[in-house]
Amino acid sequence: MKFSWAREWISPGLALIGLLALWEVAGRVTHAKTPVPTQILQSLATDSRFYLENAGFTMIEAVGGLVIAIVIAYLTASLFAFWAPVRRAFFPLVIASQTIPLVAVAPVLATLIGEGLFSRIFITSWLCWFPLVVSATHGLLHVEPEHYALFATYGASRSDVFWKLRVPNCTGTVLAGMRAAAGFAFIGAIVVEYSGATKGLGAFLIGQARHPTDPVRVFGVVVVCAMCGLLLTQVSHGIARHLLHRYLPAER
């Protein structure tokens, strides 16, 4: 529908405004030490350079990690789809790799590949590649048997089956995996900054956790994290939809 986007965003927006108004009133009435929304908005407006610089640094890590994860995940999923023995041998290892908490594996990987921006990008990709490889593998493999039979009837090659049947079939799961991975990418970038980073939103948050001095900025950083995560999720999902649009059903 023409205004479907409005229905999708207006209700959550009104609910958010109502919650912020309640927060503001409760904070003013009770004189709580927790910052109220107007103080946070004032900090975002007057200290925008601080937020933009740190958000930009964290976003570079998140986008870099997401791009690396996309490349590795789709190559891996294609390999799993082409060769069943490889899938049977390594897919359980893919699942097992995600049972290791990021906070535990991040220092180990940082020791192996060194500190710095590339290290944090690589570790971020570790977190967000899993939903991509699982969703793509699922979509590439779960094709209706009658579709396989039709391609076999016309003598389609293995390459034709992959590009003209399996790839179009996996677009829905790929889009779902992309949305999840983009969110994980920004979360991963923040968590990775907890170990040794001097710039970025995560570095500021861990510094404040150890020595709390600026609660208003902490809440401001949380707001910026939410906005950046939403932005990365929507933009990456939109790009994926644009690239795969010919495989998707027409929107009503």
Instruction: Work out the percent of the chain whose per-residue pLDDT is above 90.
Output: 16
List, for residues 21-71, the tens digit of each pLDDT value: 888 888 888 877 788 888 899 999 999 999 999 999 999 999 999 999 999
The reported pLDDT for the residue numbered 209 is 83
41 domain residue, yes or no:
no
Distance between CA 74 and CA 174 in Å, rounded? 9
Sign of CA dihedral 211, 214, 215, 217: negative
Mean pLDDT of 193-216: 84
165 domain residue, yes or no:
yes
The reported pLDDT for the residue numbered 224 is 93
37 domain residue, yes or no:
no
Give the global pTM.
0.81
CB atoms near residue 242 (< 10 Å): 8
Number of domains in the chain: 1
29 domain residue, yes or no:
no
List, for residues 147-156, the tens digit of each pLDDT value: 878 888 877 7
Distance between CA 120 and CA 167 in Å, rounded? 31
Are 159 and 151 in contact by the 8 Å Cβ rule? The answer is: no
48 domain residue, yes or no:
no
The reported pLDDT for the residue numbered 252 is 43
Instruction: Print the domain residue range for 143.
Output: 55-247
218 domain residue, yes or no:
yes
172 domain residue, yes or no:
yes
pLDDT band with cut points at 50, 70 and 90 for residue 5: low
User: Does the structure show a pLDDT above 80 at 175?
Assistant: yes
pLDDT higher for 104 or 17?
17
User: Does the structure show a pLDDT above 60 at 219?
Assistant: yes
Provide CB contacts within 8 A for 101, sequence distance 6+. none
pLDDT higher for 25 or 243?
25
pLDDT band with cut points at 50, 70 and 90 for residue 221: very high
Most confident of 37-41, 104-108, 241-245: 37-41
pLDDT higher for 9 or 213?
213
Q: What is the mean pLDDT of the chain?
A: 83
Q: What is the CATH number of the domain that holds 210?
A: 1.10.3720.10
Distance between CA 198 and CA 10 in Å, rounded? 38
Closest alpha carbon to 122 in 158, 78, 71, 171 = 71
